[in-house]
Each structure stands twice: as structure tokens, then as C-alpha cells.
Amino acid sequence: MVEDIPFIAICVLTLSLVFLLKKILSKSQTKNVPKGSLGYPIIGETLNFLKAQRQVKGSEWIEERVSKYGPVFKTSLLGSPTVFIIGQQGNKFILGSSDDVLSANKPPTIQKILGKQTLAELIGSRHRLLKGEMLKFLKPECLQNYVKKMDELVYKVLLKELKENKTTQVVRLMKKLSYDMACNVLFDIDDHTREILFEDFTTAFKAIHSLPINFPGTSFWGGQKARARIVAKILPIMNKRREDLSKGVLSSTNDMLSCLLAIRDENHQPLSDDIITDNFIFLFVASHDTSATLMSLMIWKLSRDQEVYNKVLEEQMEILKQREANEEGLTWGEIQKMKYTWRVAQELMRMIPPLFGAFRKALKDTCYQGYDIPKGWQVYWASSGTHENKDIFENPYKFEPSRFENQTKPIPPFTYLPFGAGLHNCIGNEFARVETLTTIHNFVKMCEWSQLNPEETITRQPMPYPSLGLPVMIKPRCNMSS
């Protein structure tokens, strides 16, 4: 009898989800919803979609449906009926709509792992309040103050790697670097806590795009357990900083967590612990994995393309050559000189965007180009619909960084979307730029390397990474300069 309990639990959960899905769908039967297939009950086309993502064939998955149903089609992902809207006008409709029409509410899996009150979910005055306070740490004038700390951290990590290893996995290294950067620069988390939290954040992030089956052994279940452990570890830190803030021994400008603790709303009340922990986890995931993705892809590209590598190397070495004798490390002015290096990053994000697309949720019945989108349905935009459009980007499948140089034909709005757009665009895009350029600068000046698997492809998990972790032979550069 005991052995039957898991099976019974799965049956009850499945039947409940089927009933919920039927209830939602019954409301749409009389509407002119887009054509398409909702796939299997509950699962929908989730597994098919995620498989395509892992194989970096997400754009082909979309094109297959666009050819059948047109640029507006329905499917079902992560337990919810979903409308895909492809193209510039679709991006503008989704990303430019007000929050009372299309909310940034994420699917249940994402909400359960990241939280329901993150910056990506909040609307109205609460969203404006948090975004304004967070931007104080992420705008260019503040980032200037982080360059020295970032440079020292990257140099220290790479120096240790070079001393201890002849081969290294670049993805592992970049994840470690970006994680340490978030801990050190944004949140002021000590080394001991940093190490304890790392595995839980890794587990939680992997669960974000899983099916919402909360059963022992599933990725979703493991992700929620990891989130609970993160919250349990961060609450004592929050309490200590709250106490230090009240005593005046800590400033709200010290770090992002202290900033959140010091915020007062329109009623002069502090934010709840739930809002703070939700946004702590959200910001950690957003700042950690997105940057690690871009930095890994940069090293992957430099390993495979000699021409691009030579130009990046030349630019970085010229910066070192021109450095003032009294300058000991990287400066904000030098970051601004890395124009070609950043164009390589921009082109990589066009061809392999960190963010494939994103969900919105219809809070009321709405319509687009004659199609009805019922209340409660998800809406999804995909970057490939414009990033790979030859009418927007000439020869879209050719790697051409110069397309971002002195553009005579500006890129139309809502077409280049590595960081999203609209009210809920990524607030950390400038932080990611400085972090990436600082890391590539140090990697190129300090290291010589060769790819162990030259044919290594890219996979999404759900962010795009080299499929084998990008193992390389690595050694110190002969004329390495600190």
C-alpha cells in the first residue's frame, strides 16, 4: 500500500492539472484564438520545445509552426496555453503593452523558484520603486566605481587557475567568476556563505524551465528545495544588516541587499522579507548566469575564429601599451576603448541570444491582428523572429561585428533584444557589459589557450553554453603583464 502512494499522488496531480487546463480552454472555445496545437494534456509541447532549445534549434521549432499557422500561433508550454507572436510588431505589442493588459507574470515553475514578487513580476508603483533603487547600483556612474574591484577579482581567479591547472573548463570558470562577481560587487557576501550557496543556486536555476511536477526526484521539486535552503541561509544575513542599518554602522549604499532593506514604500513601510528574498534570488540568477553565458561564448568564439581573436588581442594589447605608468589596473576609460571587443559580444548575442524569448500573461481578454488572446493565457516573444530576419540584419547567418559599428542604418526598435525591451527590460545590461569586457581583457592578456574539442557545439540548458563545458589547454601568456 505504501508503495502505491507516489503513483496515487501523481494521478491526483495529473487529474487536477487536466481539470484546470480544461477549465481555461473551455473559455476560449468561442473565441478566435490563433491556430496551432496544444499538444498533450498538461505537457503540451513543452518537452518538444525544450529538446529543440537544447539542440539550439529553437528558431527551427518556431519556423516549422510559422510555416503551418503563420507568425501568430498557439501551443502549450510549462502547463499553460501559450500564444507565440513572432516579428518586430509582435515584439512591440508584447513588450510595449501596459502591465494591466500583458503582465510579466511568469509560468508557475519560474514563480516557484525565483518568487512571485521579483522585479520581473511587480507592476505599477512597487515596480518603479524597486527598479529605481536597484538602478542606483547599476547605472554607468556607479559602475565606474566597480571596475577596479572587478579587475582585481578576475585577475586573482585567473592567476589561481593558471597556477593550478593545465586544462580547464571555461564554462565552469566563467560561472565561478560571474558568481563571485555578484557576491563580491553587488551583495557583499562573505567567502564562506558564497561557497555554501553556490550549489543551491545552480540547482535552482536548472529547475526554472522544468515541468511543474512537484514530486521527489523531479527537477522542479529539487529547485524548490534549493530555493528554501537559500532563503534559510540569507535571512540571518538580512537580520544582521537590518540591525547594522538601524545603528548607522552600515549604509544603504554599501550593497544591493542593504539597499533593499533600507527601502521604504509610499506608506513609509519597509519591504517584506518575502519581497527582499525573492529579489535577492532573482538578481543573483539574472546577474550570474547571463554574464557567464556571454563570457563563455566569447571564449568559444575566440577559440574558433582566428581573425576575430587577432583583432580582439590587438585591441586589448594596445590598451595595455597606452596605459599610464602610474595606472596599476583596468580603468573606466579603458573599458570605453574596447569597441571591437564589445561589437563581437553584440554580434554573438544577436546570433546566440542569452535570452531566447520570454513569457507575458494576459490579465484580461485582449487581441492582436484579429486573433483573440483569452485572459489567463501566456504570450511569448522570441528574439530569433527579428535577429535572424534578413530585412533587418543583412546576411543574418554571417558573423559580422561591423554591423554594430557607426551604423548608417540604425537598428529598428524592438528588433535587437538580447536584454529585452520595454518596462521590464534587463536593468543589468551595462553591468554585464563591464563584467564581460573586464573578464575578456584579463583572459586575453594573461592566457594562451587552445580548444580541446574544436567541433564543440552550443546547447541551451536553458541558457546557451558550449555543450561540453568548453575544455581548453591553458597556460600563462609569455609576456603576461599585471
Q: Provide the annotated binding site for heme.
A: 426
Q: What is the residue type of 146? A: Y
Contact (CB, 8 A) for 49 and 39: no
> Which residue has cell 496545437?
37
Residue 81 CB coordination number (10 Å): 21
Closest Cα to residue 85, out of 64, 67, 58, 62?
A: 62
Q: How many helices (H) and strands (E) does the chain have?
A: 18, 12
Annotated binding site: 426
Q: Which three cell numbers stand for residue 358?
A: 520570454
DSSP per position, 239-257:
HHHHHHHHHTSS-TTS-HH
Per 3-state DSSP, the chain is made up of helix, strand and coil in percentages (nearest 5) of: 55, 10, 35
Closest Cα to residue 430, out of 291, 225, 230?
A: 291
Closest Cα to residue 343, out of 304, 396, 298, 300?
A: 298
Q: Which three cell numbers stand for residue 116?
A: 512571485
How far from 184 is each of 110, 194, 364, CA to CA, in Å? 26, 9, 42
Q: Please report the sign of the dihedral spanned by the C-alpha atoms of residue 419, residue 176, residue 276, residue 242.
A: negative
Q: What is the residue type of 133? A: E
Residues 251, 255: Cα–Cα separation, whole Å: 8
